[in-house]
Amino acid sequence: MQMMNVEVEKTVFVLEQVRHLTESTYVLRFSRNEMQFLPGQHLALGLPGAKELREYSIYSGVHDDFLEVLIKEVDDGIVSRQLKNISKGDEILVRGPRGFFLTPAAVSKPGKLLFISSGTGLAPFHSFVRSYPDSDYSIVHGGRNISEAYDLEDYKKELFTICTSRGDKGDFPGRLTDFLLQNELDPKARVYLCGNSNMIYDAMDILHAKGLPQKQVFTEVYF
């Protein structure tokens, strides 16, 4: 499963598609330019000539012939607002790939993987599942409602639990942390958490209280 990780110089890639998932969340697809990466790595993106670049986890799989990132537009997010309004054929500045968040999951011995995410923190796990669909994984994802279970059809239904804090159409009506408190966890699982920092801190406290050792827990904080 291991592959070369070579960071490209900041260069121009061409947008192929903007796919809107919700009013504020979208997927950018752009040319891959033969970039090699591992699931869990991220790219820094921006518009040509812009001073600001923003980091986004890679959303596509290692075998796809394109690159994708999952982005949520935020009110004070300059780059997320700029990228939402570009069109097919426009150019994007890219630096990366960087990071090693899911590298242990990709190269370690086989075993149970538990992925815990909130919001667009689902992105690196989407990349992993697209890359290694037969891995022994399960996902617990938290969102306000079912619309935040982005591209749900890309996962095996029985392996994906969506916890909805403001809706009743998910698998668990309540916060992700409530689900973790109320359900048994495999003490031998390697656990990866990605998303909101408050969720990660609360989830880690729960994991530790349930006896999962620190060496089995890995985190990627988005904000």
Give residue-wise pLDDT tens across range 49-87: 888 899 999 999 999 999 999 999 998 889 999 999 999
Q: Please tell me the pTM assigned to this model.
A: 0.93
According to the model, what pLDDT value does residue 1 have? 33
According to the model, what pLDDT value does residue 8 have? 55
Token code pair at residue 19:
């796919």
Cβ atoms within 10 Å of 190's Cβ, excluding its own: 20
Which of 159, 155, 95 minimizes the C-alpha distance to 130?
155
Which of 163, 158, 107, 164 minimizes the C-alpha distance to 137?
158
pLDDT tops 50 at residue 3: no
Domain 103-221 has CATH 3.40.50.80: yes
Domain ranges for the chain, please list them.
Answer: 8-98, 103-221
Contact call for residues 102 and 40 (beta carbons, < 8 A): yes
pLDDT tops 70 at residue 160: yes
pLDDT tops 90 at residue 157: yes
CATH number at 8-98: 2.40.30.10
Contact call for residues 169 and 152 (beta carbons, < 8 A): no
pLDDT band at 2 (very low <50, low <70, confident <90, very high): very low
